[in-house]
Amino acid sequence: MGPNCLGLFDTQSRFYATFSTTLDRGFPEQGQLSIISQSGAFGSHLYFVARELGLGVRRWITTGNEADLSVAECLLYLAEDPGTHVILAYAEGVGDGPLLIRALERARELGKPVIFIKVGRSEVGAEAVTSHTAALAGSDAVFDAVLRRCGAWRAHSIEAAMDAAYALSVGELPQGNRVGLVTISGGIGVLMADMAEDLQLEVPPLPAAAQAELKALLPFAGTRNPVDITAQVFNDISLFESNLDVLLRYCQKGAGAPAADHETAVDSAITYLTSAPGAGFLRKPFMEALTRLRTRHPKAPLMLSIQVPEEMRRACEALRLPVFADPGRALAATAAQAHFARQLRRKAAPRQISRPIPPPTGPLGEQQAKAMLSRAGVPLVEERLVHSQEEAIAAFEAFGGGPVVLKLASPDILHKTEIGGVILDCRDAATVARAYELLLSRAAEKAPQAKLDGILLARQLAGGVECILGMEHDPVFGPVIMLGLGGIFVEVLKDVVFSLAPVSEDEAIEMINVLQGAPLLQGARGREPLDIGALARTVAAFSDFAAAAHWAQSAEVNPLLVLPEGVVALDALIVKAQPPS
Amino acid sequence: MGPNCLGLFDTQSRFYATFSTTLDRGFPEQGQLSIISQSGAFGSHLYFVARELGLGVRRWITTGNEADLSVAECLLYLAEDPGTHVILAYAEGVGDGPLLIRALERARELGKPVIFIKVGRSEVGAEAVTSHTAALAGSDAVFDAVLRRCGAWRAHSIEAAMDAAYALSVGELPQGNRVGLVTISGGIGVLMADMAEDLQLEVPPLPAAAQAELKALLPFAGTRNPVDITAQVFNDISLFESNLDVLLRYCQKGAGAPAADHETAVDSAITYLTSAPGAGFLRKPFMEALTRLRTRHPKAPLMLSIQVPEEMRRACEALRLPVFADPGRALAATAAQAHFARQLRRKAAPRQISRPIPPPTGPLGEQQAKAMLSRAGVPLVEERLVHSQEEAIAAFEAFGGGPVVLKLASPDILHKTEIGGVILDCRDAATVARAYELLLSRAAEKAPQAKLDGILLARQLAGGVECILGMEHDPVFGPVIMLGLGGIFVEVLKDVVFSLAPVSEDEAIEMINVLQGAPLLQGARGREPLDIGALARTVAAFSDFAAAAHWAQSAEVNPLLVLPEGVVALDALIVKAQPPS
């Protein structure tokens, strides 16, 4: 380990090879959480917070400058450690992308949630990473895509990371993101519903039958969800038990439990009860009620938002009921659990090993790039390469008239619009002929050295929505693709999504759905829905190309026009990697 | 108070008129924070958390169903209470908008920060508010605009609210949002820089002179900001003091302090030191160093992110140094302070009492609406009302040709496009004549009952960016205006901003800057910058109209075209309030 690390420890063998001052204030309890951190100080902090939460630790490793062992190697080791059930990882960057992917996929295979803190999201942060260590920080957006693809959960704060680790260690794992809320304060219920929406948790209305049962128990209760059982329950604690019992009967059993015997309404439950259960006269009846509820619903994912003394919290945890003083933090931890509920059920997509595409010989102009992508399965706009005004007019007529666009075709001119090398909207033979001459004279004037293949004449399409599809060879993770909507979505809103290549069509659909502008494709507000299936097929085909063309540094299809039926690439570009100098 | 409340208490007079079980676990300490809550349970929770944070309370009031006293009235009372310095308010909605505004403005006038938790942001949340109480919830977007306008800070979680209350009660108030970070962990420094960006705090590089001083103290320190002084400082605690001393000399003095004697780089500082200062051998030298730093920099806004025992935390607080175990929470509290730094310096905009505009007699068609808004200062597109084909052609020629648009003009037809009542792109006299006839026949067929004023012929403009400007008479807060970019920004991204009417031009500029699509107006990515000044003038003029036309239920200018020079309203609509039936 190291140099520049704080060592490691293992609670099972009681091996403490660290000089972290954190241990001055007490040795760790044994537990199922293992922590792996590139930074010693960050790792110490994570362990300190775990102990404050009363959360036992299994193994704790800091790797420092990684002369030998790296975060990725240790992560793989922890994934395969039978005593580790939850992993918390911190890194500023990794050098070995494929090994990190293998470690994350192995953890998912074995059903172990990985919570990852990766810093350097912001511009100042990324700069600070560079000045702080020699870690190959890589692109943060790509790292993010890797974590998403491999099912890890990225935490943006230490508090969020530790709360998730706590809930995953102590509680039952829900199977989805529908949450039932039972509170003694209508106001807190509304606050929780607001926060649930921010966290993309659903708070669905309870079925009529459930609401009727709740009304029968407490006529003035709010029963929709959030369920407001009011402070009345502290006058009669049996009401707390009976109300929660109704909700838990409509709650999906935890992961691994047999299917429910009737339709379920929620996947987990959170009950908010203020500090009242900690009042002397309530402690005993409250714990008895919880114990009976747990016996009746042994796998129900239930969390408590209460402020109670330490020993009471421990008793709740022994019933596999995580305790959060703050109701918002209970919700955030539930959202993290819901992430893993989705991800751990999911098999790693079988990695298609695409047959390598041999590199082209000579320069790669628009024509060659389009031909390669067309062979790879990217649909291209109908177009002809012409070499005279007569050929141009003939091609125009062969298209059956209609507006066409004329462009310079040269492997030496990559950014045609900058020299006026694209003329739109040619609607008759005379205009086509004039445009042909004009392009030749512009080429002669602005790019006299460029070798001209001719002039490209293409059908000009209207309508649809423009997307951009790109690939880049990331130095750490290899081929990565990017999808975004064109125009202001990319330029102003930076609305793009990354993924490791290749992706399946299903994964492409998920990429599309992440975009802020997705409603435009889906047919928002009376717009015609566009062909998302064709877009997904094209993204998948392009990603196969990205994975197979090892010699490509980058490629771009821009614009890729998505139509009501089909998609059409209007332009394309491939850049070969420079040979090492 | 009440009914359906938990009463109130006052720590100064030791008057405890509450049956909240929260007090079972201890009486409050005296302090400067007052809490006002519509909900008893929510209020109890807030008080409980305050006590857990060791934060003293002045007054605590719950209003319940407000048969007599309301949240707004109590807020005004607390604003004027000399012992109250910070106010924390909770409400689901208020009935008396103007009184709430008066109370918030009074608090700002007296320099008292108001932290507001208003629930019901989400759809489920808003529904739950309605089912929970009879509170007139009103529109959440409007409530949000009121809080922003009056300088209050809206917290979206209890944790965020209480952390802000704690920092505002214990620490010095910074004068801006530039923060200097000093950490013993490079990784935590990067994490903090990432979070600062999320919170819209700046982490500017330190001046070269400051960086040179830091390097002289510790050659391997990271000095840009975040400053990484490494765990080395625990071997020589004087390094902690000397490094922090450099930063504080470049830190703006707190609000109310004399101006700095040289240019400042940051407005506040946060130092992150893990749990190490709590280790036995460090406690005394650390507290001594802090005491000397506070003596040399008596008003510097400095926060500590450390995990230390209770008595040490108290000692730090006595030096006006807030302590947060989690560095992210320290940053979030700093962001709340920065909000008040801006807001409390700001004078309430003198409320222009616009002279009431008398209601129109008869129906309000496009023509009448445009005439009213034009008189109010909204620039309108050049157009003519014509009554024959000949008049139409004459008007077309008077415009000097160019594309024109023809529209049905009738007070009875509000949504013209739905019946094909708008024809675009008429470029010659013959087309204009044909369009005229076509519109008449469509009106005869689709709206035979409608009274026709004639046909409107308007210059058709190209380019620029379309905005939407609207007003609505809110039942709680009165006239409110809304501004958004047109098209997908409103329809897909819901990118709109609200404000109470009237607004000044400066406030209009702030509204514009809040929009996600603002870069389109500012000239993003090589686009021509548009006339934001003219847009702001028009928004202000429209808002004056909104405030003065008491009889209007709603009005809309859509689209309002923003051009490189000037803005032009292309269409307008005003709807009168229905007389009470």
**Which residues in chain A show pLDDT less than 50?**
132-137
B418 touches chain A (CB under 8 A): no
A305 touches chain B (CB under 8 A): no
C-alpha A383/C-alpha A377 separation (Å) is 17
CA B237-B242-B243 angle, 5° bins? 100
- CB-nearest to B39 from A39, A185, A222 is A185
A159 touches chain B (CB under 8 A): yes
Q: Which residue of A has its CA nearest to B332?
A: A157
pLDDT digits (tens, 9 = 90+) for B479-510: 999 999 987 777 777 889 999 999 999 999 99
B48 touches chain A (CB under 8 A): yes
Please report residues of A whose CB lies closer than 8 A to that of B465: none
CA A191-A196-A202 angle, 5° bins? 130
CB pair distance less than 8 Å for B158 and A191: yes
- Helices and strands: H and E segment counts in chain B: 19, 21
A428 touches chain B (CB under 8 A): no
Q: Strand A30-37 and strand A86-91: pairing? A: parallel
A254 touches chain B (CB under 8 A): no
Rounded to the nearest angstrom, the gap between the alpha carbon of residue B523 and the centroid of all alpha carbons in its chain is: 24
CB pair distance less than 8 Å for A128 and B184: no
Look-up of token digits 């008491």: B550
Cα–Cα distances (Å) from A401 to A382, A405, A464, in that order, read 13, 12, 21
Q: Which residue of B has its CA nearest to A160?
A: B328
Cα–Cα distances (Å) from A430 to A389, A392, A405, A408, A460, in that order, read 10, 10, 14, 18, 17
Q: Which residue of B has its CA nearest to A492?
A: B519
- Angstroms from B520 CA to nearest CA on chain A: 7
Phi, psi of A64 (to 5 degrees): 60, -135
Among residues B400, B398, B395, the alpha carbon closest in space to that of B384 is found at: B395
Helix/strand/coil for B494 = coil
How high is the pLDDT of residue A133? 43
A157 touches chain B (CB under 8 A): yes
CB pair distance less than 8 Å for B128 and A52: no
C-alpha A211/C-alpha A531 separation (Å) is 41
Cα–Cα distances (Å) from B507 to B468, B535, B539, in that order, read 17, 12, 9
For chain B, how big is the Rg over CA atoms in Å? 30
A283 touches chain B (CB under 8 A): no
How high is the pLDDT of residue A132? 47
How high is the pLDDT of residue A256? 61
Up-side HSE of residue B127: CA atoms within 13 Å toward CB?
Answer: 13
Q: Are B340 and B167 in contact (CB under 8 A)?
A: no
Please report residues of B whose CB lies closer than 8 A to that of A39: 185-188
C-alpha B268/C-alpha B257 separation (Å) is 13
How high is the pLDDT of residue A223? 93
Tokens of A198: 């921010």
Concatenate the DSSP letters of all residues of B74-115 into one string. HHHHHHT-TT--EEEEEES--S-HHHHHHHHHHHHHTT--EE
The interface residues of chain B toward chain A in range 196-235, judged by CB-CB distance below 8 A, are: 196-198, 203, 222, 224-226, 228, 231, 234
- CB-nearest to A125 from B156, B193, B278 is B193
Q: Which residue of B has its CA nearest to A41?
A: B185
Alpha helices (runs of H) in B400-504, residue ranges in sequence order:
429-446, 488-491
State the CB neighbour count (10 A cutoff) for residue B220.
9
C-alpha A415/C-alpha A449 separation (Å) is 15
Among residues A155, A140, A152, the alpha carbon closest in space to that of A480 is found at: A140
Among residues B288, B453, B339, B329, the alpha carbon closest in space to that of B53 is found at: B329
- CB-nearest to A42 from B52, B185, B329 is B185
The residue type found at B550 is: H
If residue A510 lies in a helix (H) or strand (E), which one and from where to where?
A: helix A505-514
How high is the pLDDT of residue A1? 92
- Angstroms from B349 CA to nearest CA on chain A: 32
Please report residues of A whose CB lies closer than 8 A to that of B133: 186
CB pair distance less than 8 Å for B48 and A274: yes
Please report residues of B whose CB lies closer than 8 A to that of A92: 187, 190
C-alpha B147/C-alpha A406 separation (Å) is 56
B176 touches chain A (CB under 8 A): no
- Angstroms from B159 CA to nearest CA on chain A: 7
Q: Which residue of A has its CA nearest to B48?
A: A275
Q: Which residue of B has its CA nearest to A518?
A: B492
Q: Are A40 and A47 in contact (CB under 8 A)?
A: no
B140 touches chain A (CB under 8 A): no
CB pair distance less than 8 Å for A325 and B52: yes
State the CB neighbour count (10 A cutoff) for residue A486.
17
Among residues A452, A441, A373, A450, the alpha carbon closest in space to that of A409 is found at: A452
C-alpha B514/C-alpha A5 separation (Å) is 44
Contacts of A419 (CB under 8 A, 6+ apart): A408, A413, A442, A443, A446, A447
- Helices and strands: H and E segment counts in chain A: 19, 21
Among residues A18, A76, A71, A85, the alpha carbon closest in space to that of A47 is found at: A18
Phi, psi of B524 (to 5 degrees): -70, 150
The interface residues of chain A toward chain B in range 10-29, judged by CB-CB distance below 8 A, are: 21-22, 24-25
- Angstroms from B385 CA to nearest CA on chain A: 32
State the CB neighbour count (10 A cutoff) for residue A280.
9
Up-side HSE of residue A359: CA atoms within 13 Å toward CB?
Answer: 12
**What is the pTM assigned to this prediction?**
0.89
How high is the pLDDT of residue B259? 57
State the CB neighbour count (10 A cutoff) for residue A90.
27
pLDDT digits (tens, 9 = 90+) for B97-120: 999 999 999 999 999 999 999 998
The interface residues of chain A toward chain B in range 324-363, judged by CB-CB distance below 8 A, are: 325-329
Contacts of A510 (CB under 8 A, 6+ apart): none
CB pair distance less than 8 Å for B517 and A492: yes
**Which residues in chain B show pLDDT less than 50?**
132-137
Its ipTM equals: 0.87
C-alpha A241/C-alpha A237 separation (Å) is 7
How high is the pLDDT of residue A261? 58
C-alpha A530/C-alpha B92 separation (Å) is 41
B274 touches chain A (CB under 8 A): yes
Q: Are B395 and B459 in contact (CB under 8 A)?
A: no
CB pair distance less than 8 Å for B328 and A52: no
Instruction: Examine residue A559 and say whether the peptide bond preceding it is cis (omega within 30 degrees of 0).
Output: yes
Enter the DSSP assignment of A427.
-
C-alpha B557/C-alpha B467 separation (Å) is 8
B484 touches chain A (CB under 8 A): no
C-alpha B497/C-alpha B500 separation (Å) is 11
Rounded to the nearest angstrom, the gap between the alpha carbon of residue A352 and the centroid of all alpha carbons in its chain is: 21
Contacts of A448 (CB under 8 A, 6+ apart): none
The residue type found at B37 is: S
Tokens of A418: 């900058």
Count of A–B CB contacts within 8 Å?
234
Q: Are A468 and A490 in contact (CB under 8 A)?
A: yes
Q: Which of B45, B63, B331 to mutate to test the interface with A (most CBs of A within 10 A)?
A: B45
Enter the DSSP assignment of A202.
B
C-alpha B578/C-alpha B581 separation (Å) is 8
